[in-house]
Structure 1
Amino acid sequence: MPTSVPVDVDLALVGGGGAASLVLAALDRHRVRDLRVAVVDPVHRRGQDRTWAFWGRPDDDLDPLLAASWSQVEVATAAGRRVLDLTPLRYAMLRSGPVYDRAAAAEQRLGAIRIVAAAESVQDDGDRVTVRTAGAAVRASWVLDSRPRPPRRPGRTNWLQHFRGWWLAADRPTFDPRRAVLMDFRTPQPARGVSFGYVLPVSDRYALVEYTEFTPGLLTDAGYDEALAAYRDRLGLDPARLTVREIENGVIPMTDGPFDPRPSPRVVRLGTAGGATRPSTGFTFSAMLRQAEQVAAALAAGRPPVPTPAYPGRHRWLDAVALRALDRGRVAGPDFFDRLFERNPAERVLRFLDGATSPAEEVAVMRSTRLLPMVAATAGDAGARLRDRLVPSRRPATWRIPPPVTGTPDRCTSDSDG
């Protein structure tokens, strides 16, 4: 137990990854200067330890930090390639180094206290929250907790998005920096699940090439390397002319199990633990950015730092239906995503995947899927929900801890601690 007197602050950030970094930067941007802030995390984050990819409109504040962005992307299947114009949106890649650097500068201007230790307990008495580490304690009016947590109860469908990427440097012009490959389904498809590759070029000689699966289980290290090598060969890239500069790995939950964004009166969860990960795609960054902005705006106005739900309830229901259809084999992943982009403007699909569409647009998107399989999945989901109400599950929620990683991209991103 810590022997020192607890440090009193207004706001404690437990976890110092992407979610906390975005909050620090947003507090600084909103010029919240009279707030006492503490950051509790066992690692002081620096450098390039993860990559986020996301879409949105150009942003004067965020764009200077980007590694690359594209107004066109490709979706490829065995039948051919589809080039999508994202205007007025753009697909963007952001590496962690600039985010951490901006957060460090904000932390200094805010006069924040940093405790480089793991939080061993978070106790909320309804008036103050005490965060204890092995050697110190912090007492805060509010705690924002972005550490990985399991859902409140098990999901009816529990998949993982897991991936490995190689940052490839070529000895001659090899990649097209004008266009990213968003989803390439020409990879061998697993018996249960979906696989695809993608390419995010920073220049004509440097790109992130990645292999991703949506499945219930993980591959071995050798399995990821074998799949990546096969995808590299599918792209026609000559390994003799390439050097692997960095390796990125990640695991993201894809589950309809509900995450608890408010576990106690004065503790708010952010990132994946706060529901920021879209269950059907794994994208997280845009929701984390919204959470950070809402938290900072609320504190600047003297309100509780409680963001709105990351996604509308109807979108969480649509995610549950889509996951069920994919998991039960009622729809094939490549066909499901290809039909979305084939029968809708790309900008509408991307806003739908980000939870930013209207009900009328969502009806149009869902009408582009195969009707009978989705109706069957909807009926199955409704029956499962009814059974859950009649016989509540007593099984504890489970959480698969990701393997050690050198980076965790946020794509179709997120990272597990936000």
Structure 2
Amino acid sequence: MDVDLALIGFGGATSLLLSALDRRGVRGLRIATVDPEPAHGHHRTWAFWTGAEDELDPVLDAAWSQVDLYGPSGLRQLALAPMRYAMVQSGPVFQRADEAAARLGVKVVTASAAALSDNGKIVTVRDDDGKTIIRAQWALDSRPAAPARPGRTFWLQHFRGWWVRADTDVFDPASAILMDFRTRQPAHGVSFGYVLPTGRRTALIEYTEFSPARLDDAGYSRALRAYLQLLDLPELTVEKVEDGAIPMTDAPFAVRPSPRVVRLGTAGGATRPSTGYTFSAMRRQADQIAAALAAGGDPVPGPAYPRRHLWMDGVALRAWDRGLVAAPAFFERLFTRNPPDRVLRFLDGLTSPAEELALMASTPLLPMTRAAAGDLLARLQTRS
């Protein structure tokens, strides 16, 4: 099969791209998806920052213009307007992508893309047996990939969430708990809880850690049960469980490993190293590619985050990892000493240098300076 675009992997990044192509009115391209699991893999939930209106509004599970943060100094209520914190499950996103694919005439190939061979003009996609599946002008690969080289710090954002239902009204659907650092803190890393209500009796309650390694099943269950006790909630029914792990590292990813292969999602640099947030950057990548193709250009997005943001993230990771700064106090100061919308735009990579100077000034300056000096020394040693 000869196509213009081969979309390798059919998860979140590819789904968002297909919807963006359809929304932009891109027609006439020969497109194929290649994935061994046509059902898009396992269920997941995405949370992200957005404005007062969003094209995903019809399928959002919930959105909150106010959130609570429990830091070392207690409860802080943050008004996010004009921003919102929003949550969407993968099912409706995948359904929209399937509908877009049908309108775009996408060919769905159920196979494993074991090898991509790029001669600078054509990308040949081969299966596990070495058989050619597709020849494409461009391959957009959203599968997980290892960094191009090791980083100076490597952590994970790893989590487990319970979708729960109560027999009485116990949740406030107008407000969410964004970060609750009252959880028991690990010896190396940071933990916090989320409470994301979707109604007065339903919510996603999640335990999250930023640390070098995942817990076992029993560890996540203990942490979630302890968090429910801390929240002092009545008996809840767990209707669904989800978990995952997202890399948090200053290691670089090869966004364009060859001339006509472009990586999307985490492998394409969409994951914010200091938080693990990925969804907003995946959406930006999708919109940029769709706009480029609509204008007759190449399907290559811009960088997911400015280089100065990646440097700041690397310094923050180093400070947490070396114990120079406690992450709960770091995030509390960031949110309480800056307008919340500035912090949210920073986390999405959308702030100006002047705003970033104000953000840096709100963090513990001496230990962060030590972390920056250590990061610089490590970079120089790596190059030598």
TM norm structure 2:
0.98
One of 226, 229, 235 as aligned partner of 2:225: 229
1:380 is matched with which residue? 374
Secondary structure class of the residue paired with 1:203: coil
Task: State the match for 1:70 in structure 2.
Answer: 64
Q: Is the 8 A contact 2:22 2:104 kept in 1?
A: yes
The partner residue of 2:245 within 244, 248, 251 is 251
Distance 1:136 1:128, change over 3 A: closer
* Larger RCO (CA under 8 A, 6+ residues apart): 1
Report the equivalent of 1:220.
216
Report the alpha carbon displacement of residue 59 of structure 1 after superposing the two structures with TM.
3.3
Q: CA deviation at 1:77?
A: 2.2
Give the Cα–Cα distance (whole angstroms) in 1 for the partners of residues 188 and 316 of structure 2.
Answer: 14
Corresponding residue for 1:400?
none
Alignment RMSD: 1.1
Counterpart position of 1:173: 169
Q: Is the 8 A contact 1:47 1:97 kept in 2?
A: no
How far is 1:46 from its partner?
5.6
1:332 aligns with 2:312: no
Q: Is the 8 A contact 2:72 2:328 kept in 1?
A: no
Cross-structure match for 1:84:
78
Say yes or no: does 1:150 pair with 2:153: no
- Secondary structure at the residue paired with 2:382? helix
Equivalent runs, 1:287-302 vs 2, <5 Å: 287-302=281-296
In structure 1, what is the equivalent of residue 350 of structure 2?
Answer: 356
Counterpart among 101, 110, 117 of residue 111 in structure 2: 117
**Counterparts of 1:38-57 in structure 2 under 5 Å?**
38-45=32-39, 49-57=43-51
**Which position in structure 2 is the counterpart of 1:105?**
99
What is the aligned counterpart of 1:191 among 187, 193, 216? 187
Cα distance, 1:33–1:215 mapped onto 2, change above 3 Å: same
CA deviation string 1:356-388 (max 9, x = no partner): 100000000010011110000000000000001
> Is 1:159 aligned to residue 159 of structure 2?
no
Q: Please point out which of 351, 362, 369 is paired with 2:363.
A: 369
1 CA distance for matches of 2:260 and 2:132? Answer: 20
Of residues 203, 208, 214, the one that matches 2:204 is 208
Shift of 1:329: 0.1
**1:11 aligned residue:** 5
Q: Does 2:267 match 1:273? A: yes
Alignment deviations for residues 155-189 of structure 1 (CA, whole Å, 9 cap, x no partner): 10000110000000001101110001110000111
Q: Which stretches in structure 1 are left out of the alignment for 5+ residues?
A: 1-6, 391-418
Q: Does structure 1 residue 318 correspond to structure 2 residue 312?
A: yes
Q: How far 1:321 moved relative to its partner?
A: 0.3
1:18-44, Cα deviation, whole Å (9 max, x unpaired): 000000001111111100000001112
CA contact (8 A) 1:48 1:95 kept: no
Among residues 389, 395, 409, which one is paired with 2:383 in the alignment?
A: 389
Shift in Å, 1:132? 1.3
Q: Under a length normalisation based on structure 1, what TM-score does the superposition of the two structures give?
A: 0.90
Distance, in Å, in 1 between the alignment partners of 2:336 and 2:179 is 13
Figure out how many residues of one structure are paired with residues of the other and give that number. Answer: 382
Report Cα offsets for 1:48-84 as digits up to 9, x if no partner: 7000000011334211111100000111024311110
Contact 2:10 2:40 in 1 (8 A): no
Per the alignment, in what secondary structure is the counterpart of residue 109 of structure 1?
helix
CA–CA distance in structure 1, aligned partners of residues 40 and 298 of structure 2: 29
- Tell me how far 1:349 sits from its aligned partner: 0.7
Structure 2: gaps (5+ residues): none
Match of 1:342 among 304, 311, 336: 336
The one-letter amino acid paired with 1:197 is G
Contact 1:17-1:45 within 8 A present in 2 as well: no
Does the 8 Å contact 1:47/1:100 carry over to 2?
no
| 1:3 equivalent in structure 2 | none
Question: 2:139 touches 2:262 (CA, 8 Å); kept in 1?
Answer: yes
Q: CA deviation at 1:45?
A: 2.8
The equivalent residue for 1:137 is 133
Q: What is the deviation of 1:136? A: 5.3
Match of 1:67, as an amino acid? D
Q: Which amino acid letter does the alignment assign opposite residue 271 of structure 2?
A: T
Counterpart position of 1:413: none
